[in-house]
A and B are shown apart, each in its own frame.
Chain A
Amino acid sequence: MQSLFHIQRRPDRSALSSIGLVLGALALAIVAGGVFILLMGQNPLEVYAQIVRGAFVGSVRNPLSAIQSTVIIFVPLLTVSLGLSLAFKMRFWNIGGEGQMLCGAIFATYFALYHSDWPQGVLLVVMFLAGVLGGGLYGLIPALFKIKWGVNETLFTLMMNYIALYTIEYLQGGPWQRTPGFASIGSFDENVALPKVGGVHVGWILALALMAVLAVYMRRSKQGYEVSVVGESQATAKYAGMNVKWVILRTMFLSGAICGVAGMVQIAGSDFTLSTGLTGNVGFSGITVAWLAQLNPLGIGVISALFSILEKGGRTIPINVMSADASDVLQGILLFVFLGAEFFRRYKITFTPPKKTRKEEEAA
């Protein structure tokens, strides 16, 4: 039997048609999300309006409070997504953003607990470097195993997340426990606090700066070029004389280090304690953000912002209307639609014209 259609790779779509596809997918996602809300017995327009209102409109006393909370969600998501995108560009499946973030936070917490008497500037810089080192080393481990024995990095980094997580649980109930019988390390000294700019800790400037730096690094630098060549084909990279193993190690250190910084910023800017919940799952959602943005730093910024709005706005939906987890469902729907739309960007379907019958051929 002849198949009804076949699938062809399409040459790159024009910018205009790509934008059209994105807008079309967005519209489809909004409609599909609306159907979900409708099925839950609620008015989609009201719920959507509530999400936007909840993300932007603060209280009467502090009109900026909502935006500030949205930004606080945005900072770790953007930072971790950027870090992960670096590894993904190399086709290294770093699913370990959670663990790298936690490990960076653990390293930084050591100084927050035992050297809180240092001058604030020095302490914060040291904590920052500790975050870089903790996350970087944690990212380096799977890379080492990958280049030495070819250990599957997806599964390796996934397992390492839990090792970091339970290490924190151990620290909370063990050596770093504040009060006996209560598994918590308590609040940091007041000295441990990132300065605020515009009512939000300075992490947002850091994250935006990182976005700009990475955009240049990926497009303009030799190292960034090496990352994409290794990602495209290790054989090509070797043939071109690149030290593939070194590129993998360096990139994974950077990828982990950026996640580690996100962990440090989270504890020193927002949480002021070390807990397993500090990641807010961004190690996982960052993967989807980076992928959705096709690893483009600017796109990562836009999508992180969108997800943060969904998350913050979702939390303001009253519980008798819908659980705040509805934002996860909407996020999932959005991702499903975009994952599907990606296909239509890369391929086109051609329908095979029905075979002419003999009569028609004779007539022609």
Chain B
Amino acid sequence: MDMFLKFLTAAIVSATPLLFATLGEIISERAGCLNLGVEGMMWMGAFAGFYAGLRTGSVVLSLVAAFGVAALCAAIYAFLTISLRANQNVTGLTLTTFGIGLSLVLGNAMTQANGGTPSLPTAFTDKLAALSHLLPAGAAAQQSSIVQFLLSFYPLTLAAIVLCIAAAVFYKKTRTGLAIRATGENPAAADAAGVNVSVSKYLSVILGGGICGVGGAFMSLIVANGLWNPSGIVGGVGWIAVALVIFVRWKPLLAVGGALVFGAFQTMRYFIPNAVLALPVAFYQMLPFLLTLVVLVATSVRKKSQTGEPGAIGVNYFREER
């Protein structure tokens, strides 16, 4: 493969967990729930996926565990903010503290019980590996570079893209999708139109949280090479996802491109020789946040209707206080 395709491959790998997390957060925010617990839910998904994989060796169970545990965390957030009307920012931040802390405690217990850093068997990780692993050994290397590039995709990456397309169709084309968007835009109007605001919010938050968890599992199962290494598993991807949601203006389809751009930022520095362009590493790391700021400001300067920001984001809805 030539250099550019190699770069693209690396960018897609770092874009995948971001894409899951971004889609999850879009789903939550579209229903008006700004969940700042993405990072925490990703950590929990990362641990649950890893632990289930280690214990059962089943890919399906591993992903179900990652989804389920993160969804459970999101359910705490949903119960506190939707039913008990707690402040969304504070609850989300607490979820992040709680999720990171709990997955580190459990991860440490797992390491202690294992008597050293646990690692997933290759038989397990191969099932999640790039498509080229489906071919007999050595066969992939003989293909043309474009085919090699296509074979370098991970099944989970494709799943994330499919989910984004499905979400876009769901929000645009279905009545239920419209109803959910309405709860994020103007819950009082949605309520008056007969939409069950609470149910719509609960489902969105929990589903969104579960998807974030799968993103976390992608990091612990694949990016971390099947080793439980607490220092480098999620490491801020959840926060980048919060930024990316703004960058792609709450649109699931744009998220695919946006995640690729942000993934490229994360890997770019390994591919640009210092002789060509000597920028400090910190600059590349700062870039996603800087660009998000620019987008945030640019969209705010334009009319509010064009930003895509849900009208009632971050605001809890109480029917009694309309």
A333 to B243, CA, bound (A): 27
A158 to B320, CA, bound (A): 32
Interface stretch, picked from B57-65, B82-90, B128-136, B201-209, is B82-90
Interface pair A7/B285, CB less than 8 Å apart: no
When the two chains form the complex, which single residue of B281, B289, B304 contacts A162, counting CB atoms closer than 8 Å? B289
Interface pair A159/B292, CB less than 8 Å apart: yes
Interface pair B281/A173, CB less than 8 Å apart: yes
- Determine the residue in chain A with the shortest Cβ distance to B79: A340
In A252-297, which residues have CB < 8 Å from any B CB? Answer: 284-285, 287-288, 291-292
Q: What per-residue 1/0 map shows which CB atoms of B24-38 lie under 8 Å from chain A?
A: 000000000010100
B271 interface residue (CB < 8 Å to A): no
Q: Distance (Å) between the CB of B78 and the closest chain A CB?
A: 12
When the two chains form the complex, which single residue of B79, B98, B283, B321 contacts A329, counting CB atoms closer than 8 Å? B98
A327 interface residue (CB < 8 Å to B): yes
Interface pair B94/A326, CB less than 8 Å apart: no
A120 interface residue (CB < 8 Å to B): no
B80 interface residue (CB < 8 Å to A): yes
- Determine the residue in chain A with the shortest Cβ distance to B83: A343
Q: Distance (Å) between the CB of A103 and the closest chain B CB?
A: 14
Interface pair B320/A287, CB less than 8 Å apart: no
Q: Distance (Å) between the CB of B175 and the closest chain A CB?
A: 23
Q: Distance (Å) between the CB of A243 and the closest chain B CB?
A: 22
Interface pair B108/A163, CB less than 8 Å apart: no
B118 interface residue (CB < 8 Å to A): no
Interface pair B80/A340, CB less than 8 Å apart: yes
Q: Distance (Å) between the CB of B141 and the closest chain A CB?
A: 37
Interface pair B94/A339, CB less than 8 Å apart: yes
In A328-343, which residues have CB < 8 Å from any B CB? Answer: 328-329, 331-333, 335-336, 339-340, 342-343
B282 interface residue (CB < 8 Å to A): yes
Interface pair B98/A328, CB less than 8 Å apart: yes
Q: Distance (Å) between the CB of A174 and the closest chain B CB?
A: 6
Interface pair B300/A339, CB less than 8 Å apart: no
When the two chains form the complex, which single residue of B98, B102, B296, B321 contacts A159, counting CB atoms closer than 8 Å? B296
Q: Distance (Å) between the CB of B303 and the closest chain A CB?
A: 11
Interface stretch, picked from A143-151, A203-211, A229-237, is A143-151
> What residues of chain A lie closer than 8 Å to B107, measured between beta carbons?
323
A205 to B9, CA, bound (A): 55
| Size band of the interface chain B makes with A | 35 or more
Q: What per-residue 1/0 map shows which CB atoms of A28-45 lie under 8 Å from chain B?
A: 000000000000110000
B286 interface residue (CB < 8 Å to A): yes
In A151-181, which residues have CB < 8 Å from any B CB? Answer: 151-152, 154-156, 158-160, 162-163, 166-167, 169-170, 173-174
Task: Label chain B's interface by main secondary structure.
Answer: helix
B104 interface residue (CB < 8 Å to A): yes
Interface pair A288/B94, CB less than 8 Å apart: yes
Q: A149-B300, A174-B280, A339-B91 are in contact. Are A163 and B286 (CB under 8 A)?
A: yes
Interface pair B89/A331, CB less than 8 Å apart: no
Interface pair A339/B90, CB less than 8 Å apart: yes
B293 interface residue (CB < 8 Å to A): yes
When the two chains form the complex, which single residue of B85, B297, B304 contacts A343, counting CB atoms closer than 8 Å? B85
Interface pair A166/B286, CB less than 8 Å apart: yes
A57 interface residue (CB < 8 Å to B): no
> What residues of chain A lie closer than 8 Å to B286, measured between beta carbons?
162-163, 166-167, 170
Q: What per-residue 1/0 map shows which CB atoms of B43-58 lie under 8 Å from chain A?
A: 0000000000000000
> What residues of chain B lie closer than 8 Å to A9, measured between beta carbons?
320-321
B212 interface residue (CB < 8 Å to A): no
> What residues of chain A lie closer than 8 Å to B300, measured between beta carbons?
145, 149-152
In B272-322, which residues have CB < 8 Å from any A CB? Answer: 280-283, 285-286, 289-290, 292-293, 296-297, 300-301, 304, 309, 314, 318, 320-321
Given contacts A170-B286, A284-B93, A336-B94, 15 further A-B contacts (CB under 8 A): A7-B320, A95-B89, A145-B300, A149-B300, A156-B296, A166-B286, A322-B109, A323-B107, A325-B101, A332-B98, A335-B90, A339-B87, A340-B79, A342-B84, A346-B85
Please name the 8 residue pairs, one residue from A and one from B, whose CB atoms are nearest each other, closest first. A332-B98, A328-B101, A323-B108, A170-B282, A166-B286, A325-B104, A343-B84, A339-B86
Instruction: Please list the residues of chain A having a beta carbon within 8 angstroms of any beta carbon in chain B.
Output: 6-9, 40-41, 93, 95, 145, 149-152, 154-156, 158-160, 162-163, 166-167, 169-170, 173-174, 284-285, 287-288, 291-292, 319-320, 322-323, 325-329, 331-333, 335-336, 339-340, 342-343, 346-347
Instruction: Please list the residues of chain B having a beta carbon within 8 angstroms of any beta carbon in chain A.
Output: 34, 36, 76, 79-80, 84-87, 89-91, 93-102, 104-105, 107-109, 112, 239, 242-243, 246, 280-283, 285-286, 289-290, 292-293, 296-297, 300-301, 304, 309, 314, 318, 320-321
